[in-house]
Structure 1
């Protein structure tokens, strides 16, 4: 079986206090952290037992996972399994990076978000350089609030040219065309994020070759469709995997719309879909932007 899994356990705590995030500076109780660790370990055990499968895994915690030892340890362990093609995680990169030395750099990748005001520019850039020195694949991004533009320009100037800097449209903050143009100068693919994509009835890989899994093992087609397809651990989800159109009117998050078959993003990000790394610099300029509905901001 070849499958892409978006894993999100119960962790909802974060060490940052970004004003646009509902999980800012949230603290999980000791019991909640224990439950999250046990859920992640159970998931890792399931992956370890899938001999002969080809699995790609993106960990998408509500909070910050890499400040927790069990996320660092589990990612390293998963990266060394022959059935795991890629394991990636979304992170604010506030943790130390030394743990990546225990991982397989051919398999591990990080999706890193820079939050101006939460960490100094030089500290974040230093973490990126440490990842590069260790041979770890990574992308870097920023939320496209107008107030973040100068920080984004500085980051683009200081990052190596080959490192993709993506920009997420700020949710609930529609941008003017001039503001969007400024962000597009930094991220040629920003147009995909600016507006939600019309998705109702359109073919999507979620529910067929891509699934979402929560800490209890409940399987859904993606994070944004509540319908349950079964459970990972009893195998009941397998019978539900099939091609299907999207039941939602629109999709406004990259980890959702990247899987729409009506968009060319699997070609643009070939080999780096989970960690949001384009296949080649030319892919940034060749990808047409379409199939969207202009109803506001996106992610």
Structure 2
């Protein structure tokens, strides 16, 4: 440890070996009007879109320059990102960086997927099928093109009773190696028989159907996983508002440490997947961000 005027200098802040980042900008517009989504058919004004694009480009520049950490990035926009060129360009650009293990985005697959041909295999998609918003044939055409391109993706549905027949048809049409996940519908109670029907489609449905008691439980969030919003504010996850610092001034580095959850429950996959007692990192392995189990 070096000294200056006889005083010990502060030890360097070491970066974690690996870091998962969930990024969410200001984009909230979507081309679908799903009745279970509060952002359906929202239209973002041009100024907000410009702000979102500038923020994303700044984030991409940071990620490309931060080569002392192996990064994995999941874009979790409130709206649909892949209808915007800057998200497609960001994924392609980041996928080719040697220090990025994975870059993925949550999407409804409304946009064409030809651009994925320009991305490296580290790019992946977390896709959701919304019956009533798109025909199954059109959605499956996107999936088949991803198969042709050799790109990783998962597919899911919201587990509402009126979606079950569509989900069965979807499962039958997808390649067996493609993981079909089911999200429990918010505010909906599942009788045992109905839960069993969905579990037959997605053996991990039980992870989603009941909130996880998380208060005081150790979590990877805030230690090896963080949430980042457009201005660079870093939080441990999307569901705890307390800032840990800012991505762009480097203050986030000193804030990373083992942490216990401060919320009573965690009921969203992008949150509870990081709870250590659930051991879901073992289930998903390298596919944690795109929601693909390790055995797929």
1:105-120 correspondence runs (5 A): 105=121, 107-120=122-135
Aligned counterpart in structure 2 of residue 24 of structure 1, from 40, 44, 61: 40
Partners in 1 of 2:160 and 2:231 — Cα distance?
35
TM-score (normalised: structure 2): 0.94
What residue is the counterpart of 1:5 in the other structure?
21
List, as ranges, runs of 4+ consecutive aligned residues in structure 1 with deviation greater than 4 Å: none
Q: For 1:90-101, what aligned pairs fall within 5 Å after superposition?
A: 90-101=106-117
Separation in 2, partners of 1:179, 1:54 = 41
User: Structure 2 matches for 1:137-286, cutoff 5 A?
Assistant: 137-280=152-295
**Which residue, out of 70, 86, 95, partners 1:70?**
86
1:78-97 to 2 correspondence within 5 Å?
78-97=94-113
Q: Deviations over 1:10-41 (max 9, x none)?
A: 00000000011010000000000000000000
Secondary structure at 1:221 match in 2: strand
**1:264 positional shift:** 2.1
Deviation at 1:173, TM superposition (A): 1.1
In the TM superposition, residue 271 of structure 1 has moved relative to its aligned partner by: 1.2
Q: Is 2:57 aligned against 1:41?
A: yes
Partner Cα separation in structure 2 for residue 266 and residue 236 of structure 1: 27
Distance (whole Å) between structure 2 residues aligned to residue 233 and residue 111 of structure 1 = 27
**TM-score normalised to structure 1 length:** 0.93
What's the counterpart of residue 295 of structure 1?
none
Aligned to 2:286, what secondary structure does the other structure show?
coil
2:278 and 2:49 map into 1 onto residues whose CA distance is 38
Structure 1 residue 135 and structure 2 residue 150: aligned? yes
How many Å separate the matches in 2 of 1:270 and 1:84? 16
Greater Rg over alpha carbons, structure: 2
The count of corresponding residues between Structure 1 and Structure 2 is 280
- State the alpha-carbon separation in 2 of the partners of residues 174 and 11 from structure 1: 31
Root-mean-square deviation over aligned CA pairs: 0.7
- Once the 2 structures are TM-superposed, how far is the Cα of residue 140 of structure 1 from its aligned partner? 0.3
CA distance in 2, matches of 1:223, 1:50: 22
* Distance in 1 of aligned mates of 2:177 and 2:64: 33
CA distance in 2, matches of 1:203, 1:161: 34
SS in 1 for 2:155: strand
- For residue 279 of structure 1, give the secondary structure of its aligned residue in structure 2: coil
Matched, 1:102 2:118: yes
- 1:286 matched residue in structure 2: none
User: In structure 2, what is the Cα distance between the partners aligned to 1:91 and 1:174?
Assistant: 26
